Amino acid sequence: MRITDIILTVVDHNGKFTGRTLLQKAIFFLNEIADLKISFRPYYYGPYSADVAIALENLVNIGFLNEIEERFPANWNVWGEVKRYTFKLTTEGREIMKIIKKSPEYRDIRTILDKLGKFAVSKDYDKLSKAAKIYHIVKSKGEITKLGIKQEAKKLGWNLTKNEIKDMSSFLKKLGLINIVKPKKPKIH
């Protein structure tokens, strides 16, 4: 399935989709669960794909998605977000979705989106970004402790608290992406 088809499917699944960062993270988790082979790299809000960003821009430019911009006062929230984008399918986008829905991968993507949608975390860009950061670290390092995650995050310029690591690790476990193992206690001889 092409990246453009995936983006349209994600937007269609929700009726609309609010936030570029949240969209990036939703597609990141789709990519990880369905092995879609989309390239992501560490970035400020966690794993980021330039390919997804370009495809999203192209979908807006060719008229398959409407992009609605909301502006906020600079002190509106703790993250300093001054604008947010909401995406909706256009009439042409809905026509393309009729074709996408016939593809063999569509049902699998839809099932994963349904699973993700059951978690409140999936609707919060800040929490989903933190979950994506943790998963990126765990995937790249293998078996790692929570302290190890915190240290690796710091190296990438990411600040994660112990509670965030604990809560988001639980979310990742429920998605079937990680196993949580208890640290081994040293043997006393």
With contact defined as beta carbons under 8 Å apart, do 98 and 5 qualify? no
pLDDT of the residue at 77: 56
With contact defined as beta carbons under 8 Å apart, do 133 and 160 qualify? yes
pLDDT of the residue at 81: 60
Quote the tokens at residue 58: 């192209």
CA 109 to CA 11: how far, in whole Å?
Answer: 12
Quote the tokens at residue 35: 């092995």
Neighbour tally for 76: CB within 10 Å: 13
Could you please report the per-residue DSSP string of 9-37? HHHHHHSSEE-HHHHHHHHHHHHHHHT--
> Cα–Cα distances in Å, from 125 out to 45, 119, 132, 159?
9, 12, 10, 15
Report mean pLDDT in 10-residue bins for the chain, 189 residues.
96 92 94 94 91 98 95 61 87 97 94 91 90 92 87 92 91 85 64
Quote the tokens at residue 62: 């060719």
Among 156, 152, 155, 149, smallest CA distance to 172 is for 149
- In the chain, what are the domain boundaries? 3-174
Q: What pTM was estimated for this model as a whole?
A: 0.87
